[in-house]
Amino acid sequence: MSNFIHVFPLSIYRDVITLSASYKKELIAHILAAETARGESQTSVAPRKDDDSAWLGDTQGHEFLHNIDLFADLYREIAECVRKYVRSLGVNADLIDFFYQRSWATISRGGQRIHEHAHMQSNISFAYYLKKPDGGGGINFITYDHPNEFSPGIFTPSKTDLGFINEPSMLTWNIVNIDPKEDEIYIFPSKSLHSTDANQSSDERISLSADITTMLKDSTGHETMMPHFSNWKSFDG
């Protein structure tokens, strides 16, 4: 009897972080105020007004939310979720030091979305949905190198439209959509290509994201994974 044996999945970790209504209100107020304020960074770029892009705090000088006291309780909760994610993969998280290197909020209003991208400068990333209205849009995970693709480019939506793919499924999708609920967090390898759908609601969608770097506490005997920065030396030092 023939059957498939599935190997090499991309596993997205989902958890829930429930905040009090008053705390959530404070966080949302801070983020909305940041949107209207001039960016703290001298290298912040002007928001794009001519397309459907969401407001991205990391390009507007608001890229270190983890250093703001108001967000401390939330980022402690997120840290525990990240450790649980790593342990769920069968990895000994006690041997790893985790560092928030950058963290920011995004705001998506009617018709706005986040275009496909990956975070190649870090190891682990997440999206936490602080505010998610009905119709607020989902998150997409994308691959242009599907393990089952026996000819380049055949597992695309256009091939389904042409009738080439009779039964679209996880075996042939190169884009998988997840529709998060408010308070949910999704954790994944930073190298994973992802995007968001356009917000189809009349209210804003607010999410928090971060880039997390992982380092071995003790790299003795390890050829791979980043050694601890305490052993590094600056060219100028």
Q: Is residue 198 part of a domain?
A: yes
Q: Look-up: residue for tokens 């290298």?
A: 43
Per the structure, the count of domains in the chain is 2
Residues of the chain with pLDDT under 50: 41-44, 47
Q: Is residue 205 part of a domain?
A: yes
Residue 82 has what pLDDT? Answer: 98
| DSSP 8-state code for residue 212 | E
Burial class (CB in 10 A: 0-12, 13-18, 19+), 62: buried
**205 touches 134 (CB < 8 A):** no
Residues 168, 65 share a domain: no
Strands of the sheet with 96-108, listed across from one edge = 13-16, 184-189, 124-131, 205-216, 96-108, 55-56
Q: Is residue 235 part of a domain?
A: no
Residues 154, 75 share a domain: no
Q: What is the pTM of this model?
A: 0.91
Q: Is residue 232 part of a domain?
A: no
Identify the CATH number of the domain in which residue 79 sits: 2.60.120.620
**Tens digit of each residue's pLDDT (9 = 90 or more) over 104-153:** 999 999 999 999 999 999 999 999 999 999 999 999 999 988 999 999 98
Residues 144, 69 share a domain: no
d(C-alpha 30, C-alpha 71), whole Å: 10
Domain that holds residue 17: 13-138+179-223
